Amino acid sequence: MKQYSDFSRIIHREGYIFIISFAAITFLFASFSAALGWIGFILTIYCAYFFRNPDRFTPVADGLIVSPADGVVQRIVEATPPPELELGEETMIRVSVFLNIFNVHVNRIPATGKILALHYNPGKFFNASLDKASIHNERQSVLMETVDGHKIVFVQIAGLIARRIVCDLEEGNDVSVGSRYGIIRFGSRVDIYLPLKTAILVTEGQICVGGETILADFKLKKTSEPKFEKR
C-alpha cells in the first residue's frame, strides 16, 4: 500500500497536475484579460479544494465499520456483491454513499483487517446516483477480511463525470480502519457490502464523513466506548 507524503496529506497527489495546469492557464488568461484571470483563479482554487485531503479522527473499537467516503447515504438495500469477486449469489446489505463535486473524494478503509482480493472492472459512466451504477459503471472492488473474521466488500464507482479511479491497495495488505487508500476524481459513489445480520447505524439521507461516521457495528451490544485516533 502506497504511503502519503506530508504534503499529499493536505492535497492528494492526484491533484498536483490539475492545480499546476489551472495555475498556468490562469497566468496566460490574466495576460489577456483581468476577467479571464479571475475566472482561472477561481477554477484553480476550486481544484485545490476538490483534491483536499484532510485528517480525520477515526473511532477505533472492535466490530465497528466506518464510512469509506464523505457524502450522503443514498440507499441501504440487500444486494449481491460484485460478481467479479466470486462470492456467489448470497445477498448482503449494501450501503451506498454518494459523493457530489464538493465532497472530499479521498477514500478510506472501513475496518481493520487484510485485503483478500482486488478487481478493476471497466464500465460505463451513468450518473452515480442511479441504482444501476453499482452494476454497469466502471468500478474498483475490494474484498477484505476484518480482524474479527467478517468478510466485507467496498467498491469505488465512477460517476457521470468521473474518469479515474485510484486504488493504492494490493492483495495481502494488512490495513487499518480510517487509513487513506485511494480517490475517485469528481462526482462518484462508494458501496460497502456487509453481512445480512450486521447492525446498520445510519439511515438513508444521512450525511457521512469518511473515516469518522460509524456505518455499522458487528457487536450488537457495545462493551466499551470507541477511542478516537487521528489518521
Gap between the Cα atoms of 95 and 31, Å rounded: 49
Q: If pLDDT is split at 50, 70 and 90, which confidence band does 29 have?
A: confident
Q: What is the pLDDT of residue 1?
A: 66
- The string of pLDDT tens digits covering residues 194-212 is 999 899 999 999 999 999 9
DSSP code, position 22: H
Confirm if 7 and 175 have CB atoms less than 8 A apart.
no
Q: What is the pLDDT of residue 121?
A: 85
Residue 114 in this model has a pLDDT that exceeds 80: yes
Confirm if 151 and 110 have CB atoms less than 8 A apart.
no
What is the residue whose three cell numbers read 474479527? 148
What is the residue whose three cell numbers read 484532510? 54
The count of residues in the chain is 231
Query: What global pTM score does this model have?
Result: 0.85
| Burial degree of 182 (CB within 10 A; 0-12, 13-18, 19+) | buried
Crossing angle of the two packed helices 34-50 and 16-32, in degrees rounded to 10:
170
Q: What is the pLDDT of residue 107?
A: 95
Residue 42 in this model has a pLDDT that exceeds 60: yes
Whole-number mean pLDDT of the chain? 86
Gap between the Cα atoms of 143 and 8, Å rounded: 26
In this prediction, residues 182-200 reach a mean pLDDT of 88
Q: Which has the minimum average pLDDT: 61-65, 120-124, 152-156?
A: 120-124
Residue 222 in this model has a pLDDT that exceeds 50: no
In this prediction, residues 5-24 reach a mean pLDDT of 80
- The string of pLDDT tens digits covering residues 128-182 is 556 666 676 788 999 999 999 999 999 999 876 656 788 999 999 999 999 999 9
Confirm if 225 and 73 have CB atoms less than 8 A apart.
no
- Which residues are catalytic, by number? 188
Q: What is the pLDDT of residue 136?
A: 67
| Burial degree of 71 (CB within 10 A; 0-12, 13-18, 19+) | buried
Helix (H, G, I), strand (E, B) or coil at 135: helix
Residue type, 16: Y
Q: If pLDDT is split at 50, 70 and 90, which confidence band does 230 have?
A: low
